[in-house]
Chains A and B, each alone.
Chain A
């Protein structure tokens, strides 16, 4: 290509992206929804003792770091400079010329991704989590009285055949999507576990225009409509379908495509192009529309999608009018409800229920799933980082520990993000924007880190844990850092704290006779208070933990002096399941938590009480105390809602007018030596600690100019709000080795090759070899959950399914018996292999075609 042509092309691409980005409005700024909330008490899950045994066999999954032991602690990098770069296209150019090292956002525009792929200076991390559907208005008629064919579930089901998902994925999304047929995200534990069932569904509902037309014709005629001159009419008038089509992204293309398909079979389609804001009141309110191009986001690898049937197909899902019009069959409704409430005894039973629910959901089809979208996060080729399967680098909890120039120790990097310093930063109600959360993960740390590839919790600051659940609940365990036991009954100790008295400012004891469904005990390391330090030099203390407990329980109570009405609902939800917490020992720190909430994975039932508030940001007791003082004085507030109520600014610990308020609080509280929640906190925080903390913070503020402290691998050196720059420096006091999380350098997605005979004699046994590798190395048997096979006959019917046998690491075999091949008619058959790994929640599909002959 000539240079001038290159320039013209480059300018064209930038121009197009600018126009697109200018049209996006608020859409770019996606608030985070934290799926893994380690700050909450154990969440429930079910399964019996049998499950425990299964898990014990399967613990593992650790890959030994290949590098030699290192002495470096914390972050590999010395400095990270984060800058704002709103244009994805410009970011790619800057990456290419070395002006940026990483762009912490997933790019989903196909032309830009294509350009990235062509540059050898850039590598990308693929992430998913966004997905599209066709949402139907299932009302008997529209508010205007207009006829609604989609009140008929058979017509909705037929829509599955009418749309070619492969076309949408390949043509409309330019390959940045994969077809989706069911309510499960492709990268999820449930999809992996039910991959064989789903594959059959995908086969059944594959694109089939003729079948769609035939079914719709039958049903439309049954509803009294007639096809006249190739146009559907009802009571003499054409059947007009109002299609709400979102305009901000590829859903516009989807809307046009589906409209064409509907018009091709005789419907008259009114294409009603609307933005999110314009469409919201209409579709949520079950207003004047038939179909809507829906879009959804999941921001972390989900471990339990059993609630999706209830959430997406039944009136229990949401209180909006659209949901209230849903009329699932009684069987489906009951099944959805049971799965949402974990009303099953074993995981086998759950699997059976899920299989049924999947079938019934397709028959219901109040929404037709279309594609799982993908995005690519670019970075310089010489860098490495642990990226989350769902939220790429910007949502990865491990980025602070893994970001580096490959093979190098130290140095600095420049990271670009579409936005920066989006909302105020404070420890109790920090900004929930992905851009801010990215930085929070650098300056703070979690008690448990979510595995970026499986979603299972991994111990970060805690040492180990024990989980006990009531017998009969379907809870299992996968990893070996915790134990799982079952007990007939779990008694809550009488002196455990079950609530908080906001007037006396003391915890309320549980008393006798309280039981819980689940108990977790966390053990912090013996040297916790010596090794873990806040950035201002203060040693971590039990006071930080107790402040977290109080803040969780106090602010939603109307009698509290710190009452915040926006916290009440969340508190009530929390208390509905919470049964108590007990600090068994302060040194070493051991905490027991009792609750009726549980999740299926024991790992995700561990409550650490680590002070990472709302799952967003970290707070030390002394920094929280400053803000509480400001709230009490009515000068500023932690939450947006309370700030609006008081007509004051929301607390911002890094810049702006509230810095002066916090400074005044620091001076006042230093002078008085008083603590908030003194009746309780004073039992855990000695006077010398109080004095030391205020002195440390005052010095920190003097040297850094802000009050933002955490215990993370980086500290905030400086934030420049208007300039749009944040500078993070390596925390030299971080205690853990820099290579602690090195094993998460890449998702171990199985690479599968299938070898077998191309021709099989009917009635003869056939053996097929399945080779499973990752980066050229055999995949360990212990890391594979199962290798399933499905045989589809010449007419595309499922003829046989089963499990492949493990031969050795990286090698499995499928043996088709003579009886199995004897059932196959002569013709071309397909053997599909579904490989499910324990190291990554993304199954691998592969296939072998073979001919059967007599």
Chain B
């Protein structure tokens, strides 16, 4: 991770660099940083290609699958069985050849792996081998894009709720250290050991099976309402339980973490000094506690946002939510490497971009940070 979160003593900057224009410094930094991040992405994506294909072993598995499926499709066919054996074997071999060609299995994996890499890096995500989008396209781009909105809706809602609720509650608790509410949150923090889907099961049982107030799962009612407003309300209704499950599974631990974080900053000398000066508590929170912690808060927020890209397999399964997590799980099960690689490369780019942008954001929010500076630089 970037060193930008460390306060940079301005006096540490070498005198020779002080004369350099800010523009050239930033440009140089941008170039070096971009190349480094791109190299990281290349390595990460190629590793993913190798791992997803098990170093080429997946080819063997797929070939065996094809052979098995083709032979199986004829095993109960009495007309086929009555053909001469040579003819039967010729037909089976012909079908196998076509299918292996379709999946590119007639070319060495190593050769294909570089093709995959080139396509992935240029964001030409290609076509899935087996899976299609819900609406029938085999273009990986469309497959991913189709699942993106539900994933964003669910996880962005939950993350925003979780993030802002926890920040504000943590701030409040840091002011009321040792209060009943504070102790209650500490006591409840271990509940975050259970994942969201675990809470989801109980919420379904209570609110869907027993009380019948909310739906068991899905994105929207079946059949979906025709009116946009009714549709939106239906989605909201279906969103309630999974969001609640996600929030419940993380909120207490997050509040606890932030509250501890703020408490540490609250006990800094300059905060004590501010208190001694008699500044209002709101001012102290904004200027003396929140501001120096802003890089950390922003980093956490940004990384949690891109983590949305991966979805959550089990939670989406429990709530029958058509998200990216289930898609990725299916792709892994079917060795549909195009989707695995496609999803990974986008995540890698998002991560690289986030890290890159954060470096600049740090400089904006924290005057101690200087982009491209020597020594402790970003």
Interface residue ranges, A against B (CB under 8 Å): 7, 10-11, 14-15, 18, 21-22, 25-27, 31, 33, 35, 40, 43-44, 81, 83-87, 90, 93-94, 97, 99, 277-278, 280-281, 284-285, 298, 302, 304, 306-307, 310-311, 316-320, 340-342, 414, 421, 423-425, 565-566, 568-569, 572-573, 576-577, 597, 599, 640-641, 643-645, 647, 649-650, 652, 654-658, 718, 720-725, 727
In the complex, are the beta carbons of A573 and B219 less than 8 A apart? no
Question: Which residues of chain A have C-beta atoms less than 8 A from B102's C-beta?
Answer: 566, 640-641, 644-645
| Chain B residues within CB distance 8 Å of chain A | 60-61, 63-65, 67-69, 71-73, 75-76, 78-83, 85, 87-89, 91-95, 98-99, 102-103, 127, 132-139, 142, 146-147, 149-150, 197-198, 201-202, 204-205, 208-209, 212, 216-220, 222-224, 313-314, 317-318, 320, 322, 329-330, 332-335
- Residue from the set B83, B198, B216 with the largest chain A CB neighbour count within 10 Å: B216
Contact indicator A650/B64 (Cβ below 8 Å): no
Q: Considering the chains assembled together, what is the distance between the CA atoms of A333 and B6 in angstroms?
A: 80
Residues in B with CB closer than 8 Å to A655 are 134-136
**Bound Cα distance A83, B215 (Å):** 13
Residues on B with C-beta less than 8 A from A572 are 91, 94
Asked whether, in the complex, the Cβ of A83 is within 8 Å of the Cβ of B218, the reply is yes
Whether A721 pairs with B197 at a CB distance below 8 angstroms is no
The answer to whether A644 and B127 touch (CB under 8 A), given A597-B79, A723-B224, is: yes
Nearest opposing residue in chain A for B126, CB measure = A647
Across the interface, do A656 and B135 meet the contact criterion of CB distance under 8 Å? Answer: yes
CA distance A647 to B147 in the complex (A): 22
A-B contact sample (5 more), CB < 8 A, given A307-B76, A649-B139: A83-B222, A569-B91, A650-B138, A652-B136, A720-B220
Known: A44-B79, A316-B85. A721 touches B134 (CB 8 A): yes
Contact B78 A599 (CB under 8 A): yes
Residue pair B68, A284 in contact (C-beta under 8 Å)? yes
Q: Are B216 and A569 in contact (CB under 8 A)?
A: no
Q: Is the interface of A mostly helix, strand, loop or mixed?
A: mixed
| Bound CA span A329–B95, Å | 31
Residue of A86, A341, A724 contacting most chain B CB atoms (<10 Å): A724
Nearest CB in chain A: distance from B52 CB, A: 13
* Distance of B324 from chain A, by nearest CB (Å): 12
Decide: A99 and B61 in contact? CB cutoff 8 A.
no
Q: Is the CB of A568 within 8 A of B94?
A: yes
Residues of A within 8 A of B135 (CB): 652, 655-657, 721-722
Contact residues in B for A656 (Cβ distance below 8 Å): 133, 135-137, 142
Q: Is A424 a contact of B136 with CB atoms below 8 Å? A: yes
Contacting residues, chain B, for A657 (C-beta < 8 A): 135, 137, 139, 142
- Nearest 8 pairs between A and B by C-beta? A652-B136, A25-B333, A656-B135, A721-B134, A424-B136, A280-B64, A655-B135, A656-B136
Closest chain B CB from A21 CB (angstroms): 7
A residues less than 8 Å from B68 (CB atoms): 280, 284, 320
Chain A residue contacts of B103, Cβ below 8 A: 644
B83 touches A97 (CB 8 A): no
- Residues in A with CB closer than 8 Å to B147 are 722
Name which residue of chain B comes closest to A423, CB basis: B132
A701 to chain B, nearest CB (A): 16
* A83 contact set on B, CB distance < 8 A: 218, 222
Cα of A725 to Cα of B76 in the assembled complex, Å: 33
Is there an interface contact between A597 and B82, defined as CB atoms closer than 8 Å?
A: yes
Partner of A86, one of B65, B127, B317: B317
By a CB distance below 8 angstroms, the chain B residues around A341 are 81-82
Q: B329 — which chain A residues lie within 8 A by C-beta?
A: 22, 25
A residues near B317, Cβ cutoff 8 Å? 18, 21-22, 86-87
Q: Given contacts A21-B317, A278-B61, A643-B138, is CB(A10)–CB(B205) below 8 Å?
A: yes
Kindly state the separation between the CA atoms of A26 and B62 in the bound complex, as whole angstroms: 13
Question: How long is the Cα–Cα vector from A577 to B191 in the complex, in angstroms?
Answer: 68
Give the distance to chain B from A159, nearest Cβ to Cβ, in Å: 23
Task: Choose among A319, A576, A597, A643 the residue with the greatest number of B CB atoms under 10 Å from its CB.
Answer: A319
Query: Distance (Å) between the CB of A764 and the closest chain B CB?
Result: 48
Given the interface pairs A7-B205, A10-B205, A281-B64, the reply to whether A43 lies near B75 with Cβ below 8 Å is no
A658 and B136 CA atoms in complex are apart in Å by 8
12 A-B contacts (beta carbon < 8 Å): A11-B201, A14-B201, A284-B64, A307-B81, A319-B71, A319-B92, A423-B132, A424-B132, A424-B136, A652-B137, A724-B218, A724-B322
* Cβ-defined contact, B218 with A84, below 8 A: yes
A573 engages B83 (CB within 8 Å):
yes
Q: How far is the CA of A97 from the CA of B210 in the complex (A)?
A: 9
Bound complex: CA of A654 vs CA of B223, how far in Å? 16
Complex: A90 Cα to B73 Cα, angstroms: 32
Central interface residue in B75, B81, B204, by most chain A CB within 10 Å: B81
**Contact pick for B219, options A33, A569, A654, A723, CB 8 Å:** A723
Give the chain A neighbours of B334 by CB distance below 8 A. 25-26
Establish whether residues A18 and B318, one from each chain, have CB atoms under 8 Å apart when the complex forms.
yes
Nearest chain-A residue to B139 (Cβ)?
A: A649
Distance from B77 Cβ to chain A, minimum over Cβ atoms (Å): 8
Whether A720 contacts B132 by the Cβ 8 Å rule is no
In this complex, which of A11, A298, A425, A723 has the most chain B Cβ atoms within 10 angstroms of its Cβ?
A: A723
In the complex where A307-B78, A319-B93 touch, is A425 in contact with B335 (Cβ < 8 A)? no
Among B69, B73, B133, B330, max chain A CB count under 10 A is at B133
Q: B320's contact among A27, A85, A285, A316, by CB below 8 Å, is which?
A: A85
CB-based contact B78/A654 at 8 Å: no
Say whether A26 contacts B330, CB under 8 Å. yes
- Least distance between A635 CB and chain B CB atoms (Å): 13
B79-A577 in contact (CB<8A): yes
Bound state CA distance, A14 and B204, in angstroms?
11
Closest CB in chain B relative to A111 CB, distance in Å: 16
Q: How far is the CB of A562 from chain B (nearest CB, A)?
A: 16
- Kindly provide the distance from the CB of B151 to the nearest chain A CB, expressed in whole angstroms: 11
Contact A725 B222 (CB under 8 A): yes
Q: How far is the CA of A566 from the CA of B335 in the complex (A)?
A: 22
Docked-complex contact B322 and A423, CB < 8 angstroms:
no
Q: Bound state CA distance, A278 and B198, in angstroms? A: 31
**CA separation between A724 and B320, bound complex, in Å?**
9
Knowing A83-B222, A310-B81, A572-B91, the reply to whether A722 touches B322 (Cβ < 8 A) is: yes
Find out whether the CB atom of B83 lies under 8 angstroms from the CB atom of A284.
Answer: no
Asked if residues A22 and B320 are in contact (CB atoms below 8 Å), the reply is no
Contact of A302 among B76, B87, B134, B201 (CB under 8 A): B76
> What is the CA–CA distance of A597 and B78 in the complex, to the nearest angstrom?
9
Residue of A nearest to B99 (CB): A641
Known: A33-B76, A284-B68, A725-B224. A22 touches B201 (CB 8 A): no
Q: Report Cα–Cα, A599/B79, bound state, in Å.
A: 8
On chain B, the residues within 8 Å of A643 by CB distance are 138
